[in-house]
Amino acid sequence: MNYFKLTSIAILAMAAAVPARFASDQSAANYDPSWVLASVNGTQHYFHRANGKIMLSDDIVAYPSSTRVLSSQTQAQVAKAMTRSTQEDYDEIVDVTVQVWPSSTLTYAINNDLPSDQQAAVQSAVKRWNDSKASWNSNIAQWDGKVAYRFVPAPQGKDPMVLFVRSEDTNCSANLGKPGSASDGPAKVYIPSTGCRTGSVLHEMGHIVGLTHVHQRLDRNNFIKINKKAFDYLKEKHPSFYPNMVANYRRLSLNHGNPFSFDEQSLMMYHPYAAATADIADELVKQKLPFYTHYDGSEIVKVNTEYLTDRDMFLIKRKSMFRFWPAVNIKPR
Ligand SMILES: [Zn+2]
């Protein structure tokens, strides 16, 4: 009950912050015709490559230690394979194991190669994260509602756990959870030369603590309906982006699951028109072709692109609690 009241207040507060165009820095702009066939958690999938990084999803960068590349693929090969595997639906499932961080404090550093305005956006995202507090009482035992994991500057001379770095990509991206091996180096948030909005940096920090996308939830088909017409349109008019969008809508099966109800205002849910470029997003808006709708076909109005929602914070708290039971990280197959 409270939630709905608070949501409407939040919607009013955030309406002014909604960008005119569709958050292209939170969408599939990492276009690169290079793909790989790789094994993750024992199963094989096609993954898009962006400047040498293997993308688990649109803006989620796989750790090298968790991904075994089997072969390079051309986009034409992938497009053909994806067309066949997605004729019926867009429901390929990728198993993903997220490692949780062992401590509730994450040290971070910002690379000097980031321009000062982008360093400031990172600092304000860190502040917004650390100030976040759930407004709901929950049944999570002994929880004060403060967001789990505090980001604090790494002490001088010490390696940070999380590093904000400049990248050659066209959108913001980040690793998922804790690195699987020391060889991965620190977890990274990648900032393109065009910068990231504060809300986008916060979204990437969500990936760092192990959150994935709400529209890629394993049970998302109980709540939203994937709009085949939008994919068909893309396949016909923008075939070079089609495989990217299919890969971005795969479902992710996570070792920690997600017991909370579907949250369409989550910071981790994309706008239904979020597409490869702002131009394509505008085109889809004109054609009234969202990538997904409510299950009954009605439009999903996404107003929050700036703040962690209560349910985002519940899920972060739940993930942080797994650090007390490291065995939960092991997913038997
Ligand atoms: Zn993301």
- Any domain includes 305: yes
Q: How far is the CA of 144 from the centre of ligand 1 (A)?
A: 27
Question: 56-70, 84-98, 186-200, 301-315: which range is least confident on average?
Answer: 84-98
- Any domain includes 249: yes
- Any domain includes 275: yes
Domain that includes residue 215, residue range: 1-26+90-324
**pLDDT tens digits along 274-326:** 887 888 999 999 999 999 999 899 999 999 999 999 999 999 999 998 888 76
- Can 283 be counted among the known catalytic residues? no
Q: Is the predicted pLDDT of residue 210 greater than 60, yes or no? A: yes
- Any domain includes 81: no
Q: Is the predicted pLDDT of residue 142 greater than 90, yes or no? A: no
Q: How far is the CA of 30 from the centre of ligand 1 (A)?
A: 12
Mean pLDDT of 155-178: 95
- Any domain includes 59: no
The more confident residue out of 320 and 91 is: 320
DSSP β-ladder status, 34-40 and 67-74? antiparallel
Residue 193 CA to residue 172 CA, distance in Å, equals 10
Catalytic residue among 88, 92, 168, 204: 204
- Any domain includes 32: no
Number of domains in the chain: 1
Residue 31 CA to residue 44 CA, distance in Å, equals 21
Q: How far is CA 283 from CA 66, 243, 278, in A?
A: 37, 18, 9
Q: Is residue 203 marked as binding?
A: yes
Q: How far is the CA of 248 from the centre of ligand 1 (A)?
A: 10
pTM over 0.85: yes
Q: Is residue 215 marked as binding?
A: no
Which helix H or strand E contains 50, and what residues bound it? strand 43-50
- Any domain includes 41: no
Mean pLDDT of 144-158: 94
CATH of residue 189: 3.40.390.10
Give 183's DSSP letter: G
DSSP β-ladder status, 93-96 and 60-61? unpaired
Q: Is residue 213 marked as binding?
A: yes
**pLDDT tens digits along 168-201:** 888 899 999 999 999 999 999 999 999 999 999 9
Q: Is the predicted pLDDT of residue 79 greater than 60, yes or no? A: yes
The whole-chain average pLDDT of the chain stands at: 85
- Any domain includes 329: no
